[in-house]
Structure 1
Amino acid sequence: MRWSQMHIPTLRENPAEADAPSHQLLLRAGYIRQLMSGHYSLLPLAVRVRSKVISIIREEMALIGSQEFSLPTMHPAEIWQRTGRWDTMSDEMFRLRDRKGAELALGMTHEEIFASLAVELNSYRQLPQMWYQFQTKLRDEPRAKGGLLRTREFTMKDSYSFDLTQEGLDHAFDLHRHAYLTIFARLGIPAIPVEASSGSMGGSTSTEFMCPADVGEDLVAYCPACGYAANIEKATSHLERVSDTAGSPEPERFATPGVRTIDDLASNFDAPANRQVKTLVYVLDGKLSLVLMRGDHTLAEQKLADITGAGTLRPARPEEIQEALGALPGSLGAVGVTGRPVIADEALRGRTDMFTGANSDGVHLRGVDVDRDLAVGTWADLREVASGEPCLRCEQPLEVQKAIEVGHIFKLGDKYSKALGVSVPDTDGSPTTLIMGSYGIGVERAIAAVVECHHDDNGIVWPMSTAPFEVVIVIAQQDDAPTAEAGERIYQQLLADGVEVIVDDRAERAGVKFKDAELVGIPLRVTVGKRGLADGTVELTSRATGQTDRIGIDEIAGHVRRVVEFAR
């Protein structure tokens, strides 16, 4: 490929709308252009990178015996309605009607569609099956940002396994876990497998693959000592009990004018945050519910969704709260509340002599005994883990760090197969519902994650495995015929050797070519210039290390080929 003929629209400055480093660099280096929020065009360089990412994933899927499919992007509403996700996914799903009025959806995932094909399996002898595809997904993402990190249209590698037994699902899950670790290692992404919530996907177990990064929108709790790792939505830690006094025989009301926050009550009324019962009001599947937390703890909403099984969840509005409890946020409590579900965090269990709101504006209660005074219907781990808390396994301090989710695997169980009638006759002839797993990697997000992990002040530093080209030949003086001819000769030799090479044959200054080569991030640069040719040498520069070596012009092609083969 010749640079002069390829569309590589590099920019000298960071675009104002770009925030994450990968967003800035992929725009500046001419890989992507935005059409509208959350929708990006991939330009020729990005298409080459995407092809490499897909090839690596495809190779690893073949090694575990998964078969490639290609399924439609547009789906009938009926199949989503049968699993109940037509309603629960309403905010994220793009919907439309055809000219006959039929309701349709643009696929945001394909559990239902793959399950509809598995209906044709008719014997236990056909199991297990593992199927996958690369397909465009569309989600009405409310916060599209970070370039390719969070989009509304993207390519997903999604796999699905079908087994007769839980043991079979466990095996398929382990195969995918190992394959994913290999894929991310080959891509140059330092992914950490972490425990995660299954969320709206359902199922018993899920693992996310997280790439630590400052721009990550997920938080991961990680123990350097024992390796425990979990998404903050799932993480737990050891929490030491707080010693309480017996308190009073019954809660005592006291005036708290102007108190609106935990800090207000703590600083003005000798009520430490860890002795306060914080009352949050949520609407779970349309039902107003009270959620109780210790005053110094933060609710992890996904834990609340998981423990209650709520399909829809939102904080109650002030007017809803006042109508139900008679007070506004700041003076809320669960003492004496009946007829409303009360869900409490385990950190409150057994606590005495506590403070909480009295459900009267400007009034609180002291001397609250949680077990005596609060009608808790459900106890659960609801709190968000914080840095420094002891690991549940080894008691060493946890670290909480930002990360990018680059993959997610789920043990779905029979949620989809049961709803869609996916079963086969077992060994004794009785129908048995199949057990499913689901496994996803976002292709464009993986590209962005590679850039987040491999860049410097001058641009992208692609690993050889994902680079759009392995080598760039920079002809320093294109207008000098002997120099141009030498560059062309090396270019043809590398092409013949199967090296992915681009020659920068533009009529530009050498400095411009060097800057573009660094910005685009090609791993190796061969510089052909008059000065070097005078003594029969060219320069070979590593983008990653910056090291430059002089190599004989007759040796350069073979030398580069060996370096590339070693790095592949």
Structure 2
Amino acid sequence: MLKESPADAQIVSHKLMLRAGLVRQTAAGIYAWLPLGYRVLRNIEQIVRDEQDRSGAIEMLMPTLQSAELWRESGRYDAYGPEMLRIRDRHDRDMLYGPTNEEMITSIFRAETRSYRDLPRTLYHIQWKFRDEVRPRFGVMRGREFLMKDAYSFDIDEAGARMSYYTQMLAYLRTFQRLGIQAVPMKAASGPIGGDLSHEFIVLAPNGESEVFYDAAYEGFDWHQSDIDYGDERDLQRLFKQVSDTYAATDETHDEKQWGKVKEANRRTGRGIEVGHIFYFGDKYSAAMDLKVSGRDGHEVTPLMGSYGIGVSRLVGAIIEASHDDAGIIWPEGVAPWRVGLVTMRADDQPSREAAEMLYGHLLGAGVETLYDDRDERGGAKLASMDLIGLPWQLIVGPRGIATGSVELKKRSTGEKHELSIESALSRLVGA
């Protein structure tokens, strides 16, 4: 951990990630993930994976290096721009470090699929990517190397392709809810990916990069408890209509005329950070790369495609931007590196140490992820460290409390503290 924020850290998440020991920079825009940060990254990755699996997407893994020939097939090799890191191997073949995978997944699907019976199909992977940003900044929020979930759908017709798009939209809304953040879907431009139907998902955060305008109808909706079913076309169309009819826009796409139609009491403004983007682009890649399957009538059909990205590593920074205070990070429970931070106020006090070790054993035995700070350090310094790294709960053991059989339990998000018996504290942490 660092006592002070490095001078080159400009935003809160970058400062706190460095101070709390989540990452260390190894080159411009490239970071090593230290143990604490890596635990958070894996937790986010697993939630993303869970929701993709529930939506019916199938996981695979593609390589980071790609042949330039695939990108020449689609016409994007020269068009993509200097953000693409182009290299040559020892045989003088043009290669690139993939910034995205539309071409590669189209090539793989082309080699493996022959019939409409193989559709619809959505494939995804979670993989490190590289974009050579001219000015990488803001830590993992705009780095050059980043971890991304990207999914790709293949459908026989536009109606099916739109169902795949709506399915991913629901999966994204449920993913971000599980991550403990509010993310609002906003109609967006497609950029270099292409296509005419696109939404970006914006996490609301005070220090966000974009100004956002949205209808309060988005607030408080439980996407998990809703009656929308992945396999029900009517449900998915209802979801898309709900999103389309509820105003939300960044400053780039804000429309004052449409904004004026939102009830004044429902108008919300703020700042936001993009953490996900979904696209439907039809046959942009399948046609360019001559992907065809036999249709129901025996004639060849060009499948229609969509792609769906979530910035897994970027989410670490975005969550911190949305959830912190002056003392440090406040992790939502679903992504915290540990759920409980156990602190002994006096490491040299034997009854306290024995009680803490007993509590640690019980918590681990009950499956509660716990970080035990048994350093020979002042109690105040330990508590400051726990506030900085932001674990949801702090269990504090001190000589005075142990003398009466009690400990202190603190909820990081509210600062609320309770003095409880050891049994009651364990019951709350294990049962919550």
Equivalent pair of 2:206/2:322 in contact (CA under 8 Å): no
Structure 2: how far apart are the matches of 1:166 and 1:16? 51
Can you give the 5+ residue segments of structure 2 that lack an aligned partner in the other structure? Answer: 218-244
Partner of 1:129: 121
Structure 1: how far apart are the matches of 2:91 and 2:344? 60
2:255 equivalent to 1:236: yes
Pick the structure with more helix per residue.
2
Higher mean Cα deviation, 221-230 or 494-503?
221-230
Partner of 1:98: 89
2:351 equivalent to 1:482: yes
Distance 1:223 1:500, change over 3 A: closer
Partner of 2:299: 430
Equivalent pair of 1:192/1:210 in contact (CA under 8 Å): yes
* Structure 1 residue corresponding to 2:403, chosen from 527, 530, 534: 534
Q: CA deviation at 1:394?
A: 5.2
Structure 1: how far apart are the matches of 2:377 and 2:269? 48
- Cα deviation 1:391-435 (Å, max 9, x = unaligned): 375597987643210100000110011111211100111010000
Structure 2: how far apart are the matches of 1:61 and 1:465? 17
Structure 1: how far apart are the matches of 2:81 and 2:95? 12
Structure 1: how far apart are the matches of 2:313 and 2:159? 33
Structure 1: how far apart are the matches of 2:269 and 2:383? 39
Q: CA deviation at 1:558?
A: 2.5
Identity between Structure 1 and Structure 2 (%): 43
Q: Which amino acid in the other structure matches residue 428 of structure 1?
A: D
1:489-500 equivalence runs, <5 A? 489-500=358-369
- Cα deviation 1:269-288 (Å, max 9, x = unaligned): xxxxxxxxxxxxxxxxxxxx
Distance 1:467 1:394, change over 3 A: closer
Partner of 1:18: 9
1:354-373 equivalence runs, <5 A? none
Structure 1: how far apart are the matches of 2:252 and 2:328? 34
2:18 equivalent to 1:150: no
Q: CA deviation at 1:164?
A: 0.3
Q: Which amino acid in the other structure matches residue 456 of structure 1?
A: D
Q: Which amino acid in the other structure matches residue 227 of structure 1?
A: T
* Structure 2 residue corresponding to 1:199, chosen from 168, 191, 202: 191
SS in structure 1 at match of 2:357: helix
Can you give the 5+ residue segments of structure 1 that lack an aligned partner in the other structure? Answer: 1-9, 239-389, 564-568
Q: Which amino acid in the other structure matches residue 191 of structure 1?
A: A
SS in structure 2 at match of 1:194: strand
Q: CA deviation at 1:542?
A: 0.7
2:283 equivalent to 1:414: yes
Q: CA deviation at 1:135?
A: 0.5
2:345 equivalent to 1:451: no
Structure 1: how far apart are the matches of 2:210 and 2:72? 30
2:410 equivalent to 1:391: no
Higher mean Cα deviation, 390-399 or 70-79?
390-399
Partner of 1:368: none
Structure 1: how far apart are the matches of 2:124 and 2:375? 42
Q: CA deviation at 1:147?
A: 1.0
Distance 1:462 1:395, change over 3 A: closer
Structure 2: how far apart are the matches of 1:215 and 1:78? 41
Partner of 1:50: 41
Q: Which amino acid in the other structure matches residue 423 of structure 1?
A: K
Q: CA deviation at 1:559?
A: 2.3
Q: CA deviation at 1:106?
A: 0.3
Structure 1: how far apart are the matches of 2:85 and 2:342? 46
Q: CA deviation at 1:215?
A: 3.0
Distance 1:212 1:143, change over 3 A: farther
Equivalent pair of 2:107/2:289 in contact (CA under 8 Å): yes
Structure 1: how far apart are the matches of 2:253 and 2:63? 33
| CA-atom RMSD in angstroms | 1.8
Structure 2: how far apart are the matches of 1:555 and 1:85? 61
2:399 equivalent to 1:548: no
Equivalent pair of 1:228/1:393 in contact (CA under 8 Å): no
Equivalent pair of 1:195/1:235 in contact (CA under 8 Å): no
- Cα deviation 1:152-201 (Å, max 9, x = unaligned): 00000000000001111111111111110111111122111001001111
Q: Which amino acid in the other structure matches residue 124 of structure 1?
A: Y
SS in structure 2 at match of 1:408: strand
Structure 2: how far apart are the matches of 1:471 and 1:424? 53
Structure 2: how far apart are the matches of 1:487 and 1:407? 42
Structure 2: how far apart are the matches of 1:499 and 1:391? 46
Q: Which amino acid in the other structure matches residue 155 of structure 1?
A: L
1:167-316 equivalence runs, <5 A? 167-222=159-214, 227-238=246-257
Equivalent pair of 1:14/1:24 in contact (CA under 8 Å): yes
Question: What is the number of residues matched between the two proteins?
Answer: 403
Q: Which amino acid in the other structure matches residue 391 of structure 1?
A: W
2:18 equivalent to 1:31: no
SS in structure 2 at match of 1:517: helix
Q: Which amino acid in the other structure matches residue 499 of structure 1?
A: V
Q: CA deviation at 1:231?
A: 3.5
Partner of 1:86: 77
Structure 1: how far apart are the matches of 2:216 and 2:359? 48
Q: CA deviation at 1:555?
A: 3.6
Partner of 1:463: 332
SS in structure 1 at match of 2:78: helix
Structure 2: how far apart are the matches of 1:214 and 1:460? 14
Partner of 1:510: 379
Partner of 2:222: none
Structure 2: how far apart are the matches of 1:555 and 1:80? 61
Equivalent pair of 2:295/2:301 in contact (CA under 8 Å): yes
* TM-score (norm: length of structure 2): 0.90
Partner of 2:393: 524
Structure 2: how far apart are the matches of 1:521 and 1:411? 38
Equivalent pair of 1:189/1:449 in contact (CA under 8 Å): no
* Structure 2 residue corresponding to 1:118, chosen from 101, 104, 109: 109
Distance 1:28 1:216, change over 3 A: same
Equivalent pair of 1:22/1:451 in contact (CA under 8 Å): yes
